Structure 1
């Protein structure tokens, strides 16, 4: 299979996306969930049903869905299907324009799935497209920490799972991919701020929905020419994006971690606080599709975490 990746934003029509199913193992009790850094116990049968609903919703929207596990060599599949976090595919890689950057696991528990997925992607993409580094990847970079705002700018959190060293290593590749600015934020290091997309997300092409505390955090804006600091709303305004701050987030996963299917359609968790979408955002002109992914969310990630866009028109 040969794929021509193309992603310049978070809101274009989603043409091709990567997913994979949850693990074949249950997480039977709260102590086990805590030990593997999940929020709650998970029933694998319910998780599979949730995942099937998500895939069907994507396909109904006209999106081609690829399960990367289908392309693993036979000898790798037994391990892969037992990896608890394997369905959080967003972190594994990111398409910047027409360039694919591989991620680096921020925790040792996730390293095997990165190695396996990257071996698959080496067969999907040309060498000058997929910038594979293999064992040279020394610093973590999980792409739940990245939002592609538009053709000019990307927004990246350096926190628990993505290091500033990794960003320094990859920033030239991002500029070479066609972007002119990288906005860097450093979120508080807590479980509910694990990734950027648990704290903010693009709604269409001109609005960033963000948790209210983010208005107080400075952003370092990096270009080829240099660096400067500014507040988040000022960074966004440079790119004609409005910040919409909300204090009504009861669950960072279900409330913030939604997926734009196209400029007018958003795929959200049925557990999301509907006040945010119906009253605060007033999305009367947009279609909000709700799906039940509650069992999957107990692993600590939402719909966006479970999907890796390869092509957006």
Structure 2
């Protein structure tokens, strides 16, 4: 491991990605549609194909110069007996998030996912002992797919299906101590297609957010260290120098759940709707790297869900 060769650092979603944590998929097949429905997946999944998708994701990141840590390789034999049967373990984004120079550990909002949080956190606490911050309310859920850095000043957090207001309130002051000046809380619909914030919007450029058009009707509760106020979502984003590209039609996971490799390059799914990237002037200039993650997306998440940035330049 090269953990002593870098320090946690994330102040945006779009600057150059230098170090990322992943986890290879489970060894299990999801063999029929009834099982898929009961575990919250959209279709049956073959683990061999899922592994091929994962290797394409990992290799593409490495070829772009990103250091990749697969935490499944660091588990004890005992942990791995359980871990390799956890079908959602490759959705590492939810487990923790780096805000500024600290790591905030998530808390599972679903009992199905609780073991992987424990496994990953034991490693993260060992790797970054000085920089770990926990949710102070033990029963309060915080899944970090609900947390998005807008810029060095602002963080947007969704509460709802998997993240609680209590959890956000327990870490709010620590986020301000990192140097962020505003935290906006939004409460989005509680459905499988709106499960986390990053299934509804994403940062695509220093000054552009892509979002489902229904979000324009939602207010946000904006907190500073001393005050709070309400704004509409677009007003808040504009206030922080971000335009919004409202999508009227979308295929939720591939169209919204992408990741920025650097300010010029987006890593997107081969299933993404290509027309949306050509319609907006800021996106026309982007270098788009497409990868095959269809088998992994059947688990209910996309490329952003599968990647946990530890260092952005």
* Bin for the TM-score computed over the shorter chain: over 0.9
Deviation per residue, 1:181-240 (Å, 9 max, x gap): 001111011111100000100011100000010111111111111110011111011111
Tell me, yes or no, if structure 1 residue 103 matches structure 2 residue 106. yes
Partner-residue secondary structure (3-state), 2:48: helix
Cross-structure match for 1:83: 86
Of 1-10 and 239-248, the range deviating more from structure 2: 1-10
Give matches, 1:190-269, under 5 Å.
190-249=191-250, 251-269=251-269
> How many pairs align?
310
1:64 equivalenced with 2:67 (yes/no): yes
Structure 2 residue matching 1:221: 3-state secondary structure: strand
What does the per-residue CA deviation read over 1:85-112, in whole Å, with 9 as the maximum and x for residues that have no partner?
0000000000010010000001000000
Aligned-pair Cα RMSD in Å? 1.2
Unaligned runs of 5+ in 1: none
Residue 185 of structure 1 corresponds to 186
**Structure 2 counterpart of 1:295:** 295
Distance 1:243 1:289 in 2: 22
Asked whether the 8 Å contact 2:106–2:135 carries over to 1, the reply is no
Q: Matches of 1:282 and 1:66 in 2, distance apart?
A: 31
Unaligned runs of 5+ in 2: none
- Specify the SS of the correspondent of 2:120: helix
Report 1:164-175 matches (<5 A). Answer: 164-175=165-176
- Using the alignment, how far apart are the partners of 1:22 and 1:279 within structure 2? 34
* Paired residues of 1:248 and 1:273 also in contact (CA < 8 A): no
Which string of whole-angstrom CA distances, capped at 9 and with x for unpartnered residues, describes residues 48-98 of structure 1?
000000111101111000001111122211111110100000000000100
Contact 2:188-2:194 within 8 A present in 1 as well: yes
Moved over 3 A (4+): none
State the shift of 1:281 in Å: 5.5
Q: Deviations over 1:234-262 (max 9, x none)?
A: 1011111111101120x211110000000
1:280 Cα deviation from its structure 2 partner? 3.9
Deviation of 1:283 after TM superposition, in Å, equals: 2.1
Q: 1:92 aligns with which of 92, 95, 113?
A: 95
Aligned counterpart, 1:131: 133
State how far apart, in whole Å, the 2-side matches of 1:60 and 1:298 are.
Answer: 25
Q: Indicate which of 10, 15, 24 corresponds to 2:18.
A: 15
Deviates more, 1:170-179 or 1:277-286: 277-286
Secondary structure in 2 matching 1:55 = helix
Change (3 A) 1:44 1:285: same
The question of whether the paired residues in 2 share the 8 Å contact of 1:23 and 1:82 is answered with yes
Instruction: Specify whether residues 91 and 281 from structure 1 end up closer, same or farther in structure 2 by C-alpha distance, changes over 3 A only.
Output: farther
> Normalising by structure 2, what TM-score?
0.97
| Preserved contact between residue 106 and residue 134 of structure 2 (Cα < 8 Å) | no
Matched, 1:312 2:312: yes
Q: Is the 8 A contact 1:14 1:261 kept in 2?
A: yes
CA distance in 2, matches of 1:268, 1:137: 35
